[in-house]
Amino acid sequence: MDVIITAGGIPRPDEPLYPVTQGGPKAMLEIAGKPMIQWIIEAAVASDLVDRIVLVGLPLNDRIRSDKPVDCVDDQGEMVANIQAGAREVLRVNPAARQAILLSSDIPAITTGMVEWFIRTIQDTDHDLYYTVIRSEERRVGKECRSRW
């Protein structure tokens, strides 16, 4: 399975993340000693079910590492265009590909188990689009937990 990771986005001066990124990509924000994007890449790379990664919106640099092949696609300026560009790149590299999963660069708590669950789940069905959501009850629990910290 190929993995498309969307990593576009540079905060503008009027956005809350700008003071932290200073005009750099959001995906490169450091979390626990490494760029946020690295957490997502590591979760994907650790899976035997993942063959390659298509990274959209961020060029490889010396702070991003992967033990599996990574193809980079330029930021297209908007999320849907980035997803489409990632899908085109998957098909360019692997014309026989029937599925790919999409991950966002802003989910550093993702685990390899979550990636593998997602892959196995979609391999058992034949829909055009798969999208993960969190029920509102779970979001409220998360907010309560954060407020206690």
Q: Which two tokens stand for residue 75?
A: 């930021």
Map the chain to HEC letters: CEEEEECCCCCCCCCCCHHHHCCCCHHHCEECCEEHHHHHHHHHHCCCCCCEEEEECCCCCCCCCCCCCEEEECCCCCHHHHHHHHHHHHHHHCCCCCCEEEEECCCCCCCHHHHHHHHHHHHCCCCCCCCCCCCHHHHHHHHHHHHHC
Supply the pTM of this predicted model: 0.85
Dump pLDDT digits (tens) for 121-134.
888 888 777 777 66
Does the pLDDT at position 149 exceed 70? no
Each residue's pLDDT tens digit, 7-60: 988 888 999 989 988 889 999 999 999 999 999 999 999 999 999 999 999 988
Cβ burial of 71 (10 Å; 0-12, 13-18, 19+) is middle
Instruction: Decide if pLDDT at 144 tops 50.
Output: no
Predicted confidence band of residue 137 (pLDDT cuts 50, 70, 90)? low
Is residue 139 pLDDT above 70, yes or no? no
CB atoms within 10 A of CB 35: 23
Q: List Cα–Cα distances, 98 to 19, 49, 78, 114, 116, in angstroms.
A: 41, 14, 24, 21, 17
Q: What is the pLDDT of residues 63-122, one digit of tens each?
A: 899 999 999 999 999 999 999 999 999 999 999 998 999 999 988 899 999 999 999 988
